[in-house]
Structure 1
Amino acid sequence: MNSHELFHTLHQLSRHLTNTLNEALKPLGLYGSQWSVIFVLKSKGSLTQKELCEYLFVEAPPMTRTIQRLVKQGYVLQVPGKDKREKLIQLTDVALKMFPLWEKTVIETNQSLMKHFPETSQEELFHLQKSWLQQLL
């Protein structure tokens, strides 16, 4: 396979998956990018914006917009950190209450996308993705 085919196919797949997730979350008032931030904060606890950027491989300007939107929606707070310049991003009680509904929607969307693959293929795909990502980090 030519390397441009790999990048082209991954880009198309990524766009399709992103759009599918956005459509699933739209009735709940979220986008996939917001879900990613919420999921990481739920999994790892409070993080700085820089830590979120590094973990999610997102540049600062789009992360700032995502965080600002989540603050306006009442899903995250920016609280002072140890350093006066540092702000920790953390989930609100509202977000923690909504999390199971968002997670259910994401899981159902994932299952819908994967339903045509045998379970062994799904497990292999997940393993390959995790292994590849670990090699890149």
Structure 2
Amino acid sequence: MKTQLFFEVLLDLRRTYVSEMDKIVNHYQLSSAQWFIFKTIAQTAPTTLVEVAKIRAIEKPTATKIIHRLVELNLIQTAEGKDKREKILSLTPHGNTIYEDIQQQVSSTQQKSLSNINVPVEELTEQLVSITQYYKNRRDDRFGQTD
């Protein structure tokens, strides 16, 4: 029963978090899924679609669709890679500004969310190591090893 509760709480937490992110990113014509891809590109640029898909554990066609939308919004740009099939992804100057704006709002929201918890963030982070390992194992089972 405790196992079920753990996963139910995890799902509820995810729903709540995505809803909070949507409130922020919708202002910039983004969904939370687009935000997470945009954020991944910002943090790993220059990068490729294949790398972004692996990091976010999504299928390449899904990543392609989201990346096309980010290009339409002038948030990211593509450049030719080693061969014509590979595209190198990076933020545009406009995208960098938007990323910084959103990241600041997200950080503020996260800090506010944790302010009501009586457990130090460091202790929560230690507990998350196990949860992260679970996620990594599940992702590796689905998409192959990423490291």
Q: TM-score, normalised by structure 1?
A: 0.84
Q: How many residues align structurally?
A: 136
SS at match of 1:84: coil
Residue 21 of structure 1 corresponds to which residue in structure 2? 21
Q: 1:28 to 1:15 in 2, by over 3 A?
A: same
Deviation at 1:65, TM superposition (A): 2.1
User: What secondary structure is seen at the aligned counterpart in 2 of 1:79?
Assistant: strand
- Does 2:86 align with 1:108? no
What do you get for the CA RMSD once the two structures are aligned?
A: 2.0
How many percent of aligned residue pairs carry the same amino acid? Answer: 25
> Deviation above 4 Å: which 4+ runs of structure 1?
none
What is the CA deviation profile of residues 85-121 of structure 1, one whole-angstrom value per residue up to 9, with x for unaligned ones? 111221111111222211111111112211201361x
CA distance in structure 2 between the aligned counterparts of 1:8 and 1:117, rounded to whole angstroms:
19
Counterpart of 1:52?
52
Q: Which runs of 5+ in 2 are unaligned?
A: 137-147
Deviation at 1:131, TM superposition (A): 4.6
Other-structure match for 1:125: 124
SS at match of 1:74: coil
- TM-score between the two structures when normalised by the length of structure 2: 0.79
Equivalent pair of 1:80/1:86 in contact (CA under 8 Å): yes
Which residue pairs with 2:40 in the alignment?
40
Contact 1:24–1:109 at 8 Å: present in 2 too?
no
